[in-house]
Structure 1
Amino acid sequence: MILLSFDIEEFDMPLEYGKTISFDEQIAISIAGTEIILAMLQKQQVKATFFCTATFALAKPQLIKRMITEGHEVASHGYYHSAFEPAHLLSSKLVLEGITGQPITGYRMARMMPVDEAEIHKAGYLYNSSINPTWLPGRYNNLKVSRTVFWQSGVLQLPASVSPMLRLPLFWLALHNFPMWFYKYLCHKTYRADKYLNLYYHPWEFTDITDKQRFGFPGYVSKNSGEAMLRRMEDLIVSCKQKGLKFGTISAYLQASGVALKAASAD
């Protein structure tokens, strides 16, 4: 199964590049991108998992409810995108459960940073998808971490997908920058090896973020954003469908495959 996921958050990334962006603008850009994603998923008849911050969810609860209505999964992306303390694990879960009316079983740390698995377990999550098992200068050094699902401290770990050889990451920047034929090749090769794909993106990528004066992004971040990103995402989905591959939410995959039970018994 192919697991598309989207990190729905305050669009605070310009702050990393020395730019100022108001909270209202952060939310508005994320709303616009999320609406584009939902329309695209509905058109392609694909279900996905949305990792949402409590802050975004409280700002636009009707959009979170729409995700549920349209058959998607909502999981936690923390309370705030730029601040974290262990108490946020439970508080963000409770906020999202209050809005969705459903149990929240998944977590992803902002910017895929390390987080205490014991605290995640204590907050009541089943799975954590906060590991990018690759090496990126200044960001990740996870070459010794398993590429595929494993069990740790009572929490199922679902790393982002990377290629079997060289551990080339298949995350959002790869879709922006790799030639489409190469990105699709890596995805299909990884799927054959692992029997699933765990791919993640953000709503603001589906908006125009090319204004460097406004956002400060280097070319490798803003390349193929907006409508180009939408075309690339639909190209990927159609290509996978043509090969007979199925899409689903993370929870649906864990339930259908029995991965959680297998991991627990192997722990």
Structure 2
Amino acid sequence: MQTSIASTNDPIFNNREADVDVNVISKEASAFMSLPTNIQTALKQKRRIVFIANNPSISTTQLEALLQPDDVLVLFNHFIHADFFANHPLVSTLPKLLFFRQIGDSKLHFGLPPKSNNVGVIKRMAKSAPLGLLLSNQSYQFPTPEDDPSPNDDPITDDRILVIPPAVKALLQSTQHHSVLSESHPVVTDYPSFKEIHSSAPSSGFLLYRLLLAARAHLQDIEQTALPLRLLMLGFNDNDKTAHFWQGHNWEFERREMSAPPPEVEVIRQY
């Protein structure tokens, strides 16, 4: 599915940063502050951040062997293996940052109602471990199916939740659980977007990679630790291995950077 991205002319950073002058704090500090507060706390206590792409080749058996008790997980939009993340004896206890991308200039975000979603699982996740809901560009607008600019993309099934339930609404109204990230955050000011493509901007995976790389640097600075948090990117493929890459992302730029990751960053590609 094409992942159209929102316009980012309005430099919104997140709900809590409205009163912060981003010109007098570092890019790294701003990145850390962009996260929900319980994810900030989790990063101070954990040793590895694991980004999990929505790649169908990733199996729950592989995840079970890979994930560790000191991990923080990053999942995207309508994330894969939802029941596994919510129910597994170990994995259900790991802190999770869920990123939901705005769809074009609409009121909608991928992975939230009325689009296909794991909202029922999100309620369970919040009961088991620290949970962060990070939305791009704008907070949740409580859209209806009539607000959907591409209603034919997702068939309405019995499993599809069309309205946010009260328990998840409460999470979206809490700074402990929720924040908003601009797709033009300073961590990606060097990103070469395509001017001829509306909403061209970094992919979700790359945006969150840059954000948490900067947040890691901020933690290392304030805690004066020698060993940074490790980052693991699982299932983020090269652009010549799959047909599901939107042309508005600069894949050549992203893959070139990811081909030579910094220390303590590991990339596991699989097809």
* Category of TM-score, reference length = shorter chain: 0.3 to 0.5
Higher relative contact order, chain-length normalized (CA < 8 Å, sep 6+): 2
Larger helix percent = 1
- What is the TM-score with the length of structure 1 in the denominator? 0.39
- What is the TM-score with the length of structure 2 in the denominator? 0.39
